[in-house]
Amino acid sequence: MAKLAISVTLQDDNLNWLRARLGAVGARSVSDLLDRIIADARKAAPSGAVRSVVGTVDIDSSDPLLTRADEALRGMFDVSLGRPMLVKEESRAVYGRGARKRRG
């Protein structure tokens, strides 16, 4: 498939992230990595997938203007924080190499 040259404007942080990912995924260039990311995103989302949240939220008929919404959300948040949470690393974390010390 033919490739076309385009101009893309990115925030510094995003460009730095892309450059850091180059070696990790074996991409030849930022353009190659962007092409891979877009291709993967297109494969992951089924054609015509719904990307809207319209109709996914039920509003309590006793509070249609959401006047008690803050109170309700705070309550749900407090309940969530009160639940115990188990945190476990599945595998040993891989960290980058530090600078080597010279003997001498």
Domain residue ranges in the chain:
9-44
Question: Token pair of 56, please?
Answer: 């996914």
Q: In this structure, is the dihedral angle defined by the CA atoms of residues 17, 22, 24 and 27, taken in order, positive or negative?
A: positive
pTM for the model: 0.43
Checking if the pLDDT of 103 tops 70, the result is: no
pLDDT of residue 95: 64
What is the percent of the chain where pLDDT is above 70?
Answer: 79
